[in-house]
Amino acid sequence: MMTTTLQAAMREPLLTVDTERDAIRRWQNDGDRRALELLLRSHARQAWSQALRFADNPVDLDDLVAEGMIGLMRAADSFDLKLNLRFSTYAAYWVMNGVFTALARIGTVIDMPVRTYLDARMGRLSGDDGGLSHLATQGAVPLDAGGEEQTLSDRLPCSSLTPAELAEMRSAQVFLRRLLRQALASLDPTEKEIILRRRLATDPEPPEVVAADLGLSLQGLRQRETRALTRLRRDLLALGFSRTMLH
């Protein structure tokens, strides 16, 4: 299966509607692998975007991206050209489903249904089952050894990242921060300060404080913030971020 790096995926140009549909038609009707590769390369950013939401180390990230790419292939197989829909919108479900299925497999030390895994991560489960499911999503559960349950101190340890894995993860983070800075550059100074202080700060400032500092009313601040967020989302999508990645 074709693989690609995050940097290559983000640099790949988006397809026009006509080019996209022609590639789908050539793949579905003629089995043209070059058409399929064109689709995969131009939409690989979707697989990366979903994988980056959940992976906590480069090894898992590669697995999640691979499953996302398989989701893209399935979407290319089943896309109905009669639909008035862009391929990226249709493929979003297939990519997400592939990533979530892989996440439930590689993110736990026991087999767990995808829905149970996601509910455990979101804290939706309660009672003993919820506790055990939560431990499983963290890579550690009490194990039954000869009928004697181990204590929590005997849980399986999580492996540490190697220097190469850490470097790869940091490289991906640097690349994404660069795209964010590029999108922020399209805002005017006031809008940029609002977004930095209200949306991107580790501890966001109250709107009253920001409005007073900038000489704005609360209503004026909210209006500027809404316009800035709309412009920022538009520019980030143009740079390759997925809608789910912006939530």
Indicate if the pLDDT at residue 158 is higher than 80.
no
Query: Domain span at residue 132?
Result: 114-154
Per the CB < 8 A criterion, the answer to whether 101 and 94 are in contact is no
Counting every residue written for the chain, the total comes to 247
**Residues 125 and 203 placed together within one structural domain of the fold:** no
pLDDT for 218 = 93
**Residues 36 and 98 placed together within one structural domain of the fold:** yes
**Residues 20 and 101 placed together within one structural domain of the fold:** yes
- Average pLDDT on 114-138 reads 50
Domain annotation covers residue 195: yes
**Residues 126 and 192 placed together within one structural domain of the fold:** no
Domain annotation covers residue 165: no
In angstroms, the CA 242 to CA 29 distance is: 29
Average pLDDT for the chain = 75
In angstroms, the CA 182 to CA 187 distance is: 10
Domain annotation covers residue 164: no
What CATH number does residue 93 fall under? 1.20.120.1810
With 0.75 as the threshold, say if the pTM is over it: no
Domain annotation covers residue 175: no
Tell me the two tokens of residue 165. Answer: 């894995």
Number of separate domains in the chain:
3
Q: 176-224 pLDDT, tens per residue? A: 677 788 888 889 999 999 999 998 888 889 999 999 999 999 999 999 9
What separation, in Å, do the N-terminal and C-terminal C-alpha atoms of the chain show? 30
